[in-house]
Homo-oligomer: A and B are copies of this chain.
Amino acid sequence: MTRATRITLEGPFLLYLGDKRNPLDVKTSRGLALFRPHDCLGELRQDTCPLTLGLPRMSVEQAAAAGAKALVLGVATSGGRLEDAMIPEALAALEAGLDIVSGLHQRLDADPRLRERAAALGRKLIDVRAAPADLKVGTGAPRAGRRLLTVGTDCAVGKMFTSLHLVAGMRERGLEARFRATGQTGLLIAGEGIVVDSVIADFISGAAEALSPAREDAGWDVIEGQGSLFNPSFAGVSLGLLHGAQPDALVLCHDPSRPHMRGLPHMPVPDIAACLEENLRCARLTSPSVEAVGISINGSALDPDQAAALRGQIEADLGLPCIDPAVTGVDPIVERIAARFA
């Protein structure tokens, strides 16, 4: 049977920010800093980079001297390609004694300079997007277990963040819960998973089925969602994941400050209620009794009063708990899960 990709990542890490200017472009580095803080020594960034993770700024040599084991290229690039600017820094990291970890589509060993230096120096090039070789097409056949999937009005709206907080909150409440990573950041945090947007298209739902196999206990698999049914770049991944996850419960994630779909000025952000309804309709193909258990907002760009008012409005409109994990915690959704799936 297919298993999730398992990677063993020895920290501590130096986190790459490069010259990125959009916080969403350093999502992977930031995720590691947030959810594996004890493993993050410093950040590597250009003078022109206005972003910081709150970690000491370090060169690769300084990081190696401080004990770092790997440079994590935790940034998003166009098409997931290695950018030219990354190569000299990655080569310097190899020279300094660090392994390289990447969540990009393009494999590290596809660059001959990196491949040759890593081989000569005995360093590892670790691609977390590499998919398991033995994936199968999904079947949609009913399987045992309780699964929650986070879905979104767009990509990069807090699905991983919400999933990780939900797992912690469910465990505090005494529920058995396990995080199932489907993206490169989640996989780096959890140490295992399958990066579903990197599998061959035929195997999207099969990857989701392999990732969250049948379980007979009363515990939950909390599966990190990807993309959005309303984002035309990635909706195929979202639909395959929705069918393969076979969720009992959905949590819809939303960023109210997004002016349009990410990177697509011509695409409006969908209405929350319509987006939730579309996800429920599509999910019913493999999970007829699926239900929504809450909404998760990233209100960090709003005034706190505005954000609270928005949450209240959403709760009134949809009759579901609306949280902002960083502000309210996740208890209202955990309580609803406990009540609905006793």
A residues at B contact (CB < 8 Å): 78-80, 105, 135-142, 196-206, 229-230, 232-241, 243-244, 263-264, 266-267, 285-286
Would you call A200 and B202 a contact (CB within 8 A)? no
Would you call B201 and A264 a contact (CB within 8 A)? no
Would you call B233 and A236 a contact (CB within 8 A)? no
Name the B residues within 8 Å of A240 (CB-CB).
Answer: 201, 235-237
Shortest distance in angstroms between A316's beta carbon and chain B's nearest beta carbon? 27
Name the B residues within 8 Å of A140 (CB-CB).
Answer: 232-233, 264, 266-267
Query: Would you give 25 A-B contacts (Cβ < 8 Å), ordered by A?
Result: A78-B136, A79-B136, A138-B232, A138-B233, A139-B263, A142-B266, A196-B201, A198-B200, A198-B201, A199-B200, A199-B201, A201-B203, A201-B240, A202-B233, A202-B234, A205-B232, A229-B239, A232-B243, A232-B286, A235-B239, A235-B240, A235-B243, A235-B285, A236-B236, A236-B243
Within 8 Å by CB of A244, from B204, B232, B237, lies B232
Would you call A202 and B80 a contact (CB within 8 A)? yes
Shortest distance in angstroms between A280's beta carbon and chain B's nearest beta carbon? 14
Would you call A237 and B137 a contact (CB within 8 A)? no
**Measured CA separation A280–B144 after assembly (Å):** 33
**Measured CA separation A196–B241 after assembly (Å):** 17
Beyond A136-B79, A139-B233, A140-B266, is A198–B202 a contact (Cβ under 8 Å)? yes
Shortest distance in angstroms between A141's beta carbon and chain B's nearest beta carbon? 6
Would you call A264 and B197 a contact (CB within 8 A)? no
Name the B residues within 8 Å of A238 (CB-CB).
Answer: 236
Name the B residues within 8 Å of A198 (CB-CB).
Answer: 200-202
Would you call B197 and A202 a contact (CB within 8 A)? yes
**Measured CA separation A234–B239 after assembly (Å):** 9
Would you call B232 and A139 a contact (CB within 8 A)? yes
If A140-B266, A197-B201 are given as contacts, then 15 extra A-B residue pairs at C-beta distance below 8 Å, sorted by A number, are A79-B136, A140-B267, A197-B202, A199-B200, A200-B200, A200-B201, A201-B204, A201-B236, A202-B237, A204-B236, A205-B233, A232-B243, A235-B240, A236-B236, A239-B239
* Top 3 A-B residue pairs of the complex, sorted by shortest distance between their CB atoms: A236-B240, A140-B232, A236-B236
Shortest distance in angstroms between A66's beta carbon and chain B's nearest beta carbon? 35
Would you call B235 and A141 a contact (CB within 8 A)? no
Shortest distance in angstroms between A153's beta carbon and chain B's nearest beta carbon? 13
